[in-house]
Structure 1
Amino acid sequence: MIRCLTGEVLNVVENAVLLDVHGMGFDVLCSRGALALCRAGERVRLTVFMQVSEAGASLFGFADERERELFLKITTIKGIGGRTGMAILSVFSVDDILRAVSLADVAAFTRVPGVGRKTAERLCFELRNLLPEALADSIPTAGAGLAAPSRTADTVGEALRSLGFVQTDIGPVLSAIRAARGEEFERMDEESLLKAALKELQQGLR
Structure 2
Amino acid sequence: MIATLRGRVANIRLDAVVLEVGGLGLRAYATPATLASLRVGEQGELATSLVVREDSLTLYGFADADERDVFETVQTVSGVGPRLAMAMLAVHTPDGLRRAVATEDLAALQRVPGIGRKGAQRIVLELADRLGPPTTGGPAGGAAPATADRRDEVVEALVGLGWNLRAAQDAVTTALPTDAGAVESDDVAPLLRAALRVLGGGHG
Instruction: Please classify the TM superposition score into its range, dividing by the shorter chain length.
Output: 0.5 to 0.7
Residue 87 (1) aligns with residue 84 (2): no
The Cα shift of 1:39 comes to: 1.6
Structure of larger gyration radius: 1
> AA paired with 1:24?
L
Tell me the TM-score normalized by structure 2.
0.62
Cα distance, 1:55–1:108 mapped onto 2, change above 3 Å: farther
User: Distance between the aligned counterparts of 2:26 and 2:70, measured in 1?
Assistant: 23
1:135-154 superposed matches below 5 A: 135-136=132-133, 138=135, 140=137
The Cα shift of 1:139 comes to: 6.0
| Residue ranges of structure 1 left out of the alignment (5+ in a row) | 145-206
| Structure 1 or 2: more helix by fraction | 1
1:19-168 superposed matches below 5 A: 19-131=19-131, 135-136=132-133, 138=135, 140=137
Deviations along 1:11-62, one digit per CA (max 9) or x if unpaired, are 2212211222122111111134422321222111100010101341110111
The Cα shift of 1:110 comes to: 1.8
Cα distance, 1:139–1:100 mapped onto 2, change above 3 Å: farther
Tell me the TM-score normalized by structure 1.
0.61
1:3 paired residue number: 3
- Which has the bigger relative contact order, CA under 8 A and spacing at least 6? 2
| Alignment size in residue pairs | 139
| Residue ranges of structure 2 left out of the alignment (5+ in a row) | 139-204
> 8 Å contact 1:33–1:62 — kept in the other structure?
no
**Secondary structure of 1:18's aligned partner:** strand
Task: Quote the RMSD (CA, aligned, Å).
Answer: 2.0
Percent identity between matched residues is 40
User: Distance between the aligned counterparts of 2:40 and 2:116, measured in 1?
Assistant: 34
User: Distance between the aligned counterparts of 1:89 and 1:76, measured in 2?
Assistant: 15
